[in-house]
Amino acid sequence: SQQRRILIAGNWKMNGSLKANSELIDGLKKAELGASSPEVLVCVPTAYLAQANDLLKSTKIELGAQDVSAHQAGAYTGEVSSTMLSDFACQYVIVGHSERRAYHHESNELVAQKALQSLRANIFPIVCVGETLEQREAGKTSDVVVSQLRAVMDVLDDGALARIVVAYEPVWAIGTGKTATPDMAQEVHAVLRATLAERSEFAAARVRILYGGSMKPENAKDLLSMPDIDGGLIGGASLKASDFLAIVAAA
């Protein structure tokens, strides 16, 4: 990960309020971020993009969204397009989070279209991949994550591919307090990077692969010191400024 800048991304999920967000961002402003610091990002609920954009303006903390439409514009009631996200200075958007794959039946192909749409608006997609416990126990982890990644690779040219971020998030580790060991995570990250390299060595060297799943201040350092782990996607621990900043400090 020496050649890739570490990215620490918070995923607030469906949490927050005007008041709570303002307190949380106040807490995050205590971070002293310099040139050698990791890149720090918060992915907030769509409803609060305008508020977060305002509050983060004077900081080095970047803004992201948690989902985006696969369509450009038109009769898609309730959807939010990538150009709308870029109106609020979103630099990143999470696509294919396991909660969306599970509760909204998002297919690999839909996730790929979302990644494509975000890149069209110059927003970097954070493409989430990960296996369930059942898939891991059946020895299918590599097959699952590789096909999730390949679906996205299939719709992108080499230049676009180099601009994505991948997040390996084992489903059994999300919100459960169970974390993949650094070795378990590294093994999957290496498989993902090798998959990128089959298409483009340039992209493989450039694309950051984040780990997500119960990352917290106590386990962040060991995970982030693995060669192919280039950052973290953090759910629960991103809702408390002191925990999130401790992870940033560990990176």
Q: Does 169 bind ligand PEP (CB under 6 A)?
A: yes
Q: Does 170 bind ligand PEP (CB under 6 A)?
A: no
Phi, psi for 94 (deg, rounded to 5): -75, 130
Alpha carbon of 147 to those of 14, 104, 109, 112, 198: distances in Å?
Answer: 28, 19, 10, 11, 13
Q: Does 175 bind ligand PEP (CB under 6 A)?
A: yes
Question: Which stretch, 136-144, 151-159, 199-207, 212-220, contacts ligand PEP (CB under 6 A)?
Answer: 212-220
Between 122 and 161, how does the x/- string for binding to ligand PEP read (CB under 6 A)? ----------------------------------------
Among 112, 164, 207, 234, binds ligand PEP (CB under 6 A): 234
∠ CA(67), CA(115), CA(212), 5° rounding?
A: 65
Among 31, 90, 149, 174, binds ligand PEP (CB under 6 A): 174
In the chain, the amino acid numbered 6 is I
Distance CA 105, CA 166 (A): 20
Q: Does 233 bind ligand PEP (CB under 6 A)?
A: yes
Alpha carbon of 162 to those of 62, 66, 116, 157, 198: distances in Å?
Answer: 20, 21, 13, 9, 13
Site for ligand PEP, rule CB under 6 A: 11, 169, 174-175, 212-215, 233-237
